[in-house]
Amino acid sequence: MIARIWRGRTAAEHLDTYAEYMQKTGIEGLRATPGNRAALILRREVDGEAEFLVFSLWESWEAIRAFAGERPEVAVYYPEDERFLLEMEREVRHFEVPVAEFA
């Protein structure tokens, strides 16, 4: 299994609005891709900004490429992201998941 982690920041005032937007775009897109095992939005408010992490779990690199394209390290963005985000990070991080236990 492989974890894919994307990070973004908005103004704190967009905390709920951006989370709802991400649910309708990124999370639904992740979950609709065969091979996606899980998708979570993590958020916290720090110094007037809202930091978001999207954490997704994948069965394989092929599944990640089906979502992200031939260069899976490149971040996937949606049309309204520019309206919310303070910067557009170009890359995401991937980690192998040697152990995963779920309740």
Which structural domain range is residue 38 located in? 2-96
**pLDDT score for 85:** 97
pTM of the model: 0.92
Whether the per-residue pLDDT at 102 is higher than 90: the answer is: no
Residue 97's Cβ-side half-sphere holds a number of Cα atoms within 13 Å equal to: 20
Tens of pLDDT, residue by residue over 1-52, are: 999 999 999 999 999 999 999 999 999 999 999 999 999 999 999 999 999 9
**pLDDT score for 22:** 95
Could you tell me if residue 14 is inside a domain? yes
Q: Residue 52 is part of a domain; what is its CATH number? A: 3.30.70.100
Could you tell me if residue 18 is inside a domain? yes
**pLDDT score for 103:** 84
Query: Which H or E run contains 66?
Result: helix 61-68
What is the average per-residue pLDDT within 88-93? 96
